Chain A
Amino acid sequence: MKQKRKMSKLKKRESRMGYVFVAPWIAGAVIFLIIPLIQSFYYGMCNVKITPKGMLFNYVKFQNYTDIFRLDPLFIEDLTGYLLDTLLSVPVIVVFSLIISLLLNGKMKGKGIFRTIYFLPVIVVSGPVMGQLSDQGAASIPAMNVTVIAGVLKDVLPYVIVEPIVGLFNNMIMVLWYSGVQILIFLAAIQKIDSALYEAAKIDGGSAWECFWKITLPTIKPMILLNAVYTVIFLSNNEQNVIITSIYNDMFAINRGYGFASAKAWVYAIVVCLLVALIALVLKNKKDNYLTEVKREKKRIRKLEREREQLKRRQDRRRRFIKREGSH
């Protein structure tokens, strides 16, 4: 009894210390996350006017939210553009960074140099720099003839889809430059795979190709989700993003102000969260392969049994029928 109480006392003290250590974050989350969230929701429902005396709130319900779609003709366009862009760029970035990390993984000469090169963009990449570069047309691969690709695509696909694809090709280097951190994450994950697994697979006659699909890919699957989510967040918070710039401009625009900008930010935030949720849903790590196999096998056995029973019943019926016929 006494022992137990002592333990609980220790535990209590430990948990109190936990709160002490985390306290700055709790305070920060309340001051800079939760309260602002509520406030900005309230702003979104008001017409906010800044007067010399202070801020004036004029409650207008959901008018700002409808105004975004009614009065800002660019917003819907920007939003769909952003969604299409992101949905196209995320697979490109993830697959590309996976390929690069696989290339960088093996034993070879000049590994350090290559890693240095591929990681360089993380340092350099920032909104204004990327803006300058893409203004100069330095963000597209010189050997790639985008107009030809665009011409071919326009014959096959509707314009709405072609435009972001062409944009993707035009800013190909930018897309590649955004994959520095993802490459690092993949590389770290690949290096953590037990080499004994590969050796065992080799002894069993597995080729490198099979090894990739059966060992590497399943092991780093959680990292694919992580990278996809990271990419979405990166692209959404990027200063190159039109919506983010427009929120900033609305904030100081005379006829719009904080209320309008807050409502826009909320709509945008919800869209981003939905996008992340969608990606998480698509890439969610399904249950262990073995378990699904077992389940499938059980299902098959059950089905077989059911069929057998049906057959038995049918045979019984027929037998009875024949008996009846015979007795007649």
Chain B
Amino acid sequence: MNTLDAMKMKSNDKVNFIPPTFNKDKFRKVFLGSKDRQGAVPTLIKYVLLIGIGFVYLYPLMYMISTSLMSLDDLLDASIKWIPSNFYIGNYKNAFKVMNFWKSLKDSIILAGLPTLIQVGTCAVIGYGFARFEFRGKKIMLAILLFSFILPAQVTMMPTYVLFTNLKLIGTLHAFNLPALLGQGVKAQIFILIFYQFFKQVPQALIEAAHIDGAGYFKSFFKISLPSATPAILVVFLFSIVWYWNESYLTTLFIAGKGTGSANAWTSLVVELKNFENIYEQYNQGNQQQLGNINESIKMAGTMLSILPLLLMYGFLQKYFVESIDRTGITGE
């Protein structure tokens, strides 16, 4: 009897055993998220989206790298799509020779670097002038500044070209330096506005205190405002160097010197890439040892070579690039 009871009890227990209930609220909280924290599903979607779009972003680069490492056989083999059968650097060797890499690199660095240095200086001065002082016609000047940003450079390009020709500046570095010195370099308007925004944030009281202590206008600029603008200077420097580097239109016209005697005195990696097919043929005709016909892999190797220095620079400095806009307050107004 007793045992039977116990057995009954046991079976009852079994019947009464409550399975873990499906807690709807908790489920919701973990997967869909609550007001305080994000759930698993939205987070997952977010990451999937970010990684997916990130892949799309990197696709051309990956394509470039993979194609540039393929030998001609790999390129023609339809079964080889992404990974080349062996690590082939012949394309790079060819592109390297054709582009005259070291000279082009040196030219590129000088061409991008020198105007940038000048531009950073003048844009800082001009931005400071607009931000710190009140004078008549300031509003009109700022309007002209914005207008000149909208206006395509082609309108003023020809008279400038004529002017430079008359001054015999075509084909020399001064064709870039002079506009940069006068605040009209590549995208100088943006840089002036960045400095303008930045210098507006420097407290006026600081400068007034310096004045009371006997500092002049220039001294207060160099000793107080400029040192505090280091982030802005860095940003302007980086963007300016990148934009000058990638500028091939004006470089071809003003510096590489089309239509003048001093053609090909200056060149840059991007300009070389622009005329890659032509220079490849020229090289083949001019030299004894032939390089073989041009193919996609060689073109991609050339493209890769032209952006490699920038990629390296970005690798080291990407932190500053990405944080840059937060720091300069470009979106202040």
Contact = CB atoms under 8 A, between A and B. Distances in A.
A248 interface: yes
A244 B249 contact: yes
A306 B179 CA distance: 65
Given A116-B322, A124-B307, A273-B150, A265 B155 contact: yes
Interface string B300-324: 1011001100110110001101101
Contact of B136 (A15, A184, A266): A15
Contact of A265 (B61, B152, B307): B152
Given A128-B270, A138-B64, A244-B152, A185 B325 contact: yes
Given A17-B217, A103-B50, A138-B60, A26 B325 contact: no
Interface stretch (B16-24, B83-91, B180-188, B283-291): B180-188
B64 A133 contact: yes
B31 interface: no
Interface string A85-121: 0000000000000001001101010001011111111
A303 interface: no
A160 B97 CA distance: 45
A3 to B, nearest CB: 17
Contacts, number: 264
B152 A272 contact: yes
B242 interface: yes
Given A15-B136, A33-B148, A106 B46 contact: yes
Contacts of A119: 318, 321-322
Contacts of B162: 39, 55, 258
A45 B245 CA distance: 35
Given A24-B182, A37-B156, A265-B158, A14 B133 contact: yes
B154 to A, nearest CB: 4
B227 interface: no
A194 B116 CA distance: 36
Interface residues of A, number: 91
B184 A28 contact: yes
Interface in A124-176: 124-129, 131-133, 135-136, 138-139, 141-142, 172-173, 176
Interface in B46-81: 46-47, 49-50, 53-54, 56-61, 63-64, 67
Given A32-B160, A244-B249, A18 B133 contact: yes
B18 to A, nearest CB: 35
A213 interface: no
Interface stretch (A63-71, A231-239, A293-301, A308-316): A231-239
Nearest to A220: B331
Contacts of B135: 14-16, 18-19, 22
A21 interface: yes
A31 B159 CA distance: 10
Contacts of B296: 136
Contacts of A265: 152, 154-155, 157-158
Nearest to B328: A188
A161 B122 CA distance: 46
A21 B299 CA distance: 47
Contacts of A272: 150-152
A127 B251 CA distance: 12
B210 interface: no
B326 interface: yes
Interface of A: 11, 14-22, 24-29, 31-33, 35-37, 39-40, 43, 55, 100, 103-104, 106, 108, 112, 114-129, 131-133, 135-136, 138-139, 141-142, 172-173, 176-177, 184-185, 187-189, 191-192, 202, 223, 226, 229, 233, 236-237, 239, 244, 247-248, 251-252, 258, 261-262, 265-266, 268-269, 272-273, 276
Given A173-B60, A268-B155, 8 more contacts: A19-B135, A20-B217, A24-B183, A123-B242, A132-B303, A136-B300, A138-B64, A187-B325
16 contacts: A17-B217, A33-B148, A37-B155, A103-B50, A108-B46, A115-B322, A120-B57, A121-B57, A132-B299, A173-B60, A187-B325, A188-B330, A237-B152, A237-B153, A247-B157, A262-B155
**Nearest 9 pairs of A and B residues by beta carbon:** A21-B129, A18-B133, A28-B182, A126-B246, A15-B135, A36-B156, A36-B159, A39-B159, A18-B135
